[in-house]
């Protein structure tokens, strides 16, 4: 039953509690699951699904933001206060 140490040479015994702990910790970071009632009964596959979706959404946001930033940076006026901000930060 719990004697699965086939092909994982680095961590030979993955305990159930460890995985439960990790899954619950991951669940805290997912806003969709956190606000749901009956948070004990969320199955692990749902957690994985939400994690994938969340990461994809975050990637999308980062892409959008970088698009915006690139446009802002290319059209910025060298003498404006924004450029002064950038220069002072660097």
Partner 1 sequence: MSSSLISPNPIGTSNPAAAGADRSREAKTRRRKKKAQAQAQAQSKARSLSSKWKSQAQQQIFSSNLLRALAQSRRRGGGGVGGGGSSGGRAVREAADRALAASAKGRTRWSRAILAGRIRISKFRKRKRPAAAVAAAAAAAGRSRKPRVSVSRLRGKGIPAVQRKVRFLGRLVPGCRKEPLPVILEEATDYIEALEMQVRAMSELARLLSGGASVGAGSSSGSPPEPLPGQ
Q: Residue numbers of the site for partner 1 (CB under 8 A)?
A: 2, 4, 8, 10-23, 25-26, 29-30, 43-46, 48-49, 51-52, 54-56, 58-59, 61-63, 65-74, 76, 80-82, 84-86, 88-90
DSSP, residue by residue, 9-73: SSSS---HHHHHHHHHHHHHT-HHHHTSS-GGG--HHHHHHHHHHHHHHHHHHHHHHHHHHHHHH
- Minimum Å gap between C-beta 83 and partner 1 is 9
Pick 8 or 39: Cβ nearer partner 1: 8
């Amino acid at each position: 039953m719990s004697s699965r140490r086939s092909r994982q040479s680095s961590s030979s015994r993955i305990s159930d509690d460890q995985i439960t702990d990790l899954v619950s910790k991951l669940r805290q970071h997912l806003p969709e699951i956190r606000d749901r009632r009956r948070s004990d009964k969320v199955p692990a596959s749902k957690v994985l699904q939400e994690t994938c979706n969340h990461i994809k959404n975050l990637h999308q946001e980062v892409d959008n933001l970088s698009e915006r930033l690139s446009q802002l940076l290319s059209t910025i006026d060298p003498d404006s206060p924004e450029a002064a901000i950038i220069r002072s930060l660097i």
